[in-house]
Amino acid sequence: MGFKMGIVGLPNVGKSTLFNALTKTAAAQAANFPFCTIEPNVGEVNVPDARLDTLARIGGSATIIPTRMTFVDIAGLVKGASKGEGLGNQFLANIREVDAIAHVLRCFEDGDVTHVEGRVDPVADAEVIETELMLADLESIEKRRAGLVRKLKGGDKDAVLQERLLAAAQAALEDGQPARTVEVSAEDQKAWKGLQLLTTKPILYVCNVDEASAATGNAFSAEVEKMAAEQGAASVVISARIEEEISQLDAEEAGMFLDEMGLTEAGLDRLIRAGYDLLHLETYFTVGPKEARAWTIPAGTSAPKAAGVIHGDFEKGFIRAETIAYDDFVACNGEQGAKEAGKMRAEGKAYIVKDGDVLHFLFNT
């Protein structure tokens, strides 16, 4: 289990170029005209985690299996998408399927690449897409509330809950705020998520800068960073051109190229890490002679729920989890050393898994 991130943006902001580079494919046609991406291209990538390689080496694992992340390159959006302009309807349907939105913003000047609005203003671009998503949500909410009238008269409890949540979302949207700004109680979270409102999706702003600005950012990306901070959103600076070049190199060549560019890591690593932080995700590991494997879970996941990520039977029949912290596993040179040093713990159903835990589950069949 990784997570699914939709890559969105106005036409010609470098969205498809970034997708191609991140997934090391040419599946998305990167071209200098609007709507070159029509069907949402989907690509899976390994989530880079140096800890997994270390664990595999110590554990003598024959195979290394990283967790996976899915990128979905979604058709470019224009003003009026909420009313079906351009490829709006398709865009809105595709975006409902993802866990988070990576909103690519053009933060570079280039006379050879036309901008659909004829100017470079990433903050205004962000507002265009946010506005279209908000308008689409408003239209959806109005239709849903009208459809609940009969059930409300009959006192249907689910309808009453939906009406209350939809009304709260509508109030925020009419006030010019996305639905994600609504405070929702823990007991209402499941029903809230079930509404599938577009503006509840977490947003990561991806500042696509020129190559010279990849390490430090520029004035455009600084504006986006400020906007993101004000919204409580995340932002990351990436040069799609550089990522495209890196995707054609082997690991050693890529490392040398990054050094020359003054970068400590590839944009993919930063993007995935920012995505994990945005969705409050963590990683735990299983290590054995056959394989070392990474598993993605939401922060705060209990041991039985974490076991269920591997197989449903592990959760149903959960007995306990033999747990070693990553640092202890490394310091003690593996499971046996950790046992001898008293660093392996037996944790029960109430245990909350921590990022980096090395786990072995015991369960009834």
Domain membership of residue 287 (yes or no) is no
What is the pLDDT, as a whole number, of residue 294?
Answer: 95
Rounded Cα–Cα distance for residues 192 and 199 (Å): 12
Domain membership of residue 283 (yes or no) is no
The CATH number given to whatever domain includes residue 189 is 3.40.50.300
What is the pLDDT, as a whole number, of residue 117?
Answer: 59
What share of the chain has pLDDT > 90, as a percent?
52
b/e map of 242-252 (b: 16 or more CB within 10 Å)?
bbbbbbeeeee
Out of 278, 311, 326, pick the residue that ends a domain.
278
Domain membership of residue 290 (yes or no) is no
15 is known to lie in a ligand binding site:
yes
Residue 235 sits in the same domain as residue 88: yes
Domain membership of residue 58 (yes or no) is yes
What is the pLDDT, as a whole number, of residue 109?
Answer: 83
Residue 252 sits in the same domain as residue 319: no
Residue 69 sits in the same domain as residue 28: yes
Domain membership of residue 291 (yes or no) is no
Query: How does pLDDT run across 165-183, given as a tens digit for each residue?
Result: 999 999 999 999 999 999 9
Residue 354 sits in the same domain as residue 219: no
Range of the domain at 109: 4-278
290 is known to lie in a ligand binding site:
no
Domain membership of residue 304 (yes or no) is yes
Domain membership of residue 202 (yes or no) is yes
Domain membership of residue 293 (yes or no) is no
What is the pLDDT, as a whole number, of residue 29?
Answer: 36
Phi, psi dihedrals of residue 94, rounded to the nearest 5°: -65, -35
Residue 101 sits in the same domain as residue 151: yes
Point out the residues of the chain with pLDDT beneath 50: 25-38, 81-82, 85-87
Residue 256 sits in the same domain as residue 308: no
Rounded Cα–Cα distance for residues 322 and 358 (Å): 8
Residue 226 sits in the same domain as residue 310: no
61 is known to lie in a ligand binding site:
no
Residue 270 sits in the same domain as residue 349: no
Half-sphere exposure of residue 208: CA atoms within 13 angstroms, side-chain side = 29
Residue 12 sits in the same domain as residue 54: yes
14 is known to lie in a ligand binding site:
yes
* 63-65, strands of its sheet edge to edge: 63-65, 291-298, 281-287, 358-363, 318-324, 345-347
Residue 310 sits in the same domain as residue 248: no
The CATH number given to whatever domain includes residue 341 is 3.10.20.30
Residue 180 sits in the same domain as residue 319: no
Residue 9 sits in the same domain as residue 136: yes
What is the pLDDT, as a whole number, of residue 23?
Answer: 74
Query: How does pLDDT run across 275-307, given as a tens digit for each residue?
Result: 888 888 999 999 999 999 999 999 999 999 999
> Which residue in 114, 22, 49, 112 sits closest to 76, CA to CA?
114
42 is known to lie in a ligand binding site:
no
* Number of domains the chain contains: 2
232 is known to lie in a ligand binding site:
no
Please, are residues 104 and 8 in contact by the beta-carbon 8 Å criterion?
A: yes
What is the pLDDT, as a whole number, of residue 119?
Answer: 75
What is the pLDDT, as a whole number, of residue 284?
Answer: 97
What is the pLDDT, as a whole number, of residue 82?
Answer: 47
Fill in the DSSP letter of residue 302: B
Q: Is 125 helix (H, G, I), strand (E, B) or coil?
A: helix
